[in-house]
Amino acid sequence: RGAVGEVPLVITPTMLSTVSNTVRNNLKRHVAASAAADQKRGFKAAVLGAAGGIGQPLSLLMKLNPQVTELSCYDVAPITPGVAVDLSHCSSPAQATGYSGDDLNKALDGCQVVVIPAGVPRKPGMTRDDLFNTNAGIVKNLIAACAKSCPNAALLIISNPVNSTVPIAAEVLKKAGVYNPAKLFGVTTLDVCRARTFVSQAKGLDVNKTNVTVIGGHAGTTIVPLLSQVEPKATFTDAERDALTHRIMFGGDEVVKAKAGGGSATLSMAYAGAEFADSVMTAMAGGKGVTQCTFVESSITEAPFFSSPVTLGKDGVETIHGYGEVNEYEKKLISDMMPDLVSQAKKGVDWVAAN
């Protein structure tokens, strides 16, 4: 009751409801603002091999990504600091810095995401496995530096042959005592991009609404597009299926031949690498429902590393999904390529043991 002469305060159910709704709405706004702020959290990212055919366009796309606040560009090529100066003139918030030579550890210090396209490209007649001897050593040295300077970073491997270089990276990280399978990825996004593009063109679909799961590895017949699972649902004659499957498997060869000795897929690989890096950062920043096909340590098949749909989270790999129901044609593709996928991983592991 109020004092003498004051009107008593009467709290009605309506008032309680109003206060409750106000508190609830304020809380909702606070949570939404916090989530938005969290998802806008900036990342320090590095591109290793930043002066190369993939590295330069990839660095440009990373510089333009609003989630990147700092971009380290490293390459052995002496022009790399100049590449970063060039990038720094682009009107996006990320700060680009270039490093070369002995400055690898400096470039990696504090990085949360590292994308690695370094290595020699394919020429006509070469398979990705022909690159093994050169690129194995490059990947080993770069991963050893990551283990020292940014052991908790997400590591995105583009350097071919991915089926072997990812296992090499895992072994190097194990030797350094910092291996985290949830933070090591082979980038197979280009296979998915090609599948979406080729299928949408063949069937008259909107490429932005076309989804194709591509599993296995990232070399020739180890790349298995699951055309039976295309969304939106599409049907293919046997001839269409065979032609699309072959083109998706050997899309890289199509570019190598078209460039006539002038290089391999660089622009499309940079696009795909930047797309996957964006997904990794989105998930690390708290984004939900981020799922991409990627080549990771996996137990869903007999292969120690396998690409299938993976849900990403704040700490990297959150859930590795199986590839669902497949038809007899796809079962045979998977069965036929499995020995190659297993042996290519073993080749990487054995190489680290011997080197």
Active-site positions?
A: 218
Closest by CA to 249, choosing from 277, 275, 227, 233, is: 227
Helix, strand, coil abundance in the chain, percent, nearest 5: 50, 15, 30
Rounded Cα–Cα distance for residues 171 and 78 (Å): 30
CB under 8 Å, gap of 24 or more: what pairs does 28-37 form?
35/286
| Integer Cα distance of 76 and 101 in angstroms | 5
Cβ–Cβ < 8 Å for 193, 200: no
Q: Which two tokens stand for residue 151?
A: 């052991």
- Look up residue 231 and give its DSSP letter: B
Helices and strands per DSSP (H, E), number in the chain:
11, 11
CA torsion through residues 210, 215, 218, 223, sign: negative
Give the pair of three-digit tokens for residue 50: 């930043």
140, 135, 130, 128: which is closest to 171 by C-alpha? 140
Pairing, β 43-48 against β 68-75: parallel
Beta-bridge partner residues of 214 = 225
Phi, psi of 83 (to 5 degrees): -60, -45
